[in-house]
Structure 1
């Protein structure tokens, strides 16, 4: 089998939304302490992470209660690198993802905005119509290769987030798909178990079996 690690490395200079991660050295061997110990300050939406329904819906499922059966299983990486604006339902249909339970959208973000250290003025995101199509298809998880699955045109109304999370569809963001060919994989996505949290950073891999 072949394993693709699609997790972004977490460090103080990384691409971010809001504050960057901060690292404090608590103890160090170099200073004569018994061991090396660090303290990290970072948000639940840092790096590759999963948005739980509680992110946009009060009282909805938090990240620690999301079933692992949704986060582990067959997934399709859809080649949407030719999309230059928002991803529409027609783009998803053309990519052949109808009937898939978990979909990861590989876009031009992977080779462009995702590689930068500052947020881009625009990126490929999901249109409200595409979000509704995914809900109608009974998709359980949708992922994208940028800070947010939301269109850069809608980061005030957050239409896709409201629709998807309101319907219980999990959102995986900041998946690094640059080296992953389109196709069928086994997804293993394990968010940190932050009790009652709206999201959590997650070590995420795709497995290609012979």
Structure 2
């Protein structure tokens, strides 16, 4: 069974306040393609212009550190077919993790329930985030990936500081923000996938995140 965990990307959508929404275009229309291909054969070649931080997206170390691995340098083994673990934290603004969890080599997905507000003004208002102390612990314990179904893994209004990004990306732990649908997953016993295109020189890009259940 496959569970979708990404928000749908659509023309003009708002993911993060201040970041422009995607714009769809056409390089070759179906009508014009009829002049190129054999009779009865037509294609649509579309274009898209979007900020890398659109929809459900993955941050690599290059997003925070200029010398960190970018989208083309993070190995697929850190992005796909990872054993998953869901941390339930609904109703909590600053999420603190139990240090009894076994997180080494796993995709740790934090379910806050905040994805219900995606696309609304409330989504950016007092959103849940990961406590810096828990981010430090995840880095020490060797998690493979950390995800959250909220606007940001950090407390964004707090003087521009980003401790969770700083600690986790420095440790080589990739992040997935704006997840959705985590309530459909069991606490563990699934495999998580969130692989972006291999784009050199870019640190962030949308992913189609999903989980595979036995």
User: Structure 2-normalised TM-score?
Assistant: 0.85
- The verdict on how the C-alpha distance between 1:123 and 1:197 changes in structure 2, with shifts beyond 3 A counting, is same
Q: Secondary structure at the residue paired with 2:164? A: helix
Q: Distance in 2 between matches of 1:16 and 1:68?
A: 26
The match for 1:77 is 86
Q: How does 1:21-60 map to 2 (within 5 A)?
A: 21-29=22-30, 31-34=31-34, 35-60=43-68
User: Structure 1-normalised TM-score?
Assistant: 0.86
Q: Per-residue displacement from partner, 1:40-73 (whole Å, max 9, x unpaired)?
A: 0012221111100011111111111111111122
| Aligned positions, number | 201
The match for 1:86 is 94
Which runs of 5 or more residues in structure 1 are unaligned?
A: none
Q: Secondary structure at the residue paired with 1:122? A: coil
Q: Distance in 2 between matches of 1:182 and 1:115?
A: 26
Question: 1:165 Cα shift?
Answer: 0.8
Q: Secondary structure at the residue paired with 1:11? A: coil
Q: Secondary structure at the residue paired with 2:15? A: coil
Bigger-Rg structure (1/2): 2
Cα pair 1:110 1:178 within 8 Å, conserved: no
Q: Secondary structure at the residue paired with 1:77? A: strand
Q: Over aligned residue pairs, what C-alpha RMSD do you find?
A: 2.1
Question: 1:173 Cα shift?
Answer: 1.0
Question: 1:11 Cα shift?
Answer: 0.9
Q: Distance in 2 between matches of 1:44 and 1:207?
A: 26
Q: Distance in 2 between matches of 1:181 and 1:69?
A: 21
Q: Distance in 2 between matches of 1:155 and 1:181?
A: 34
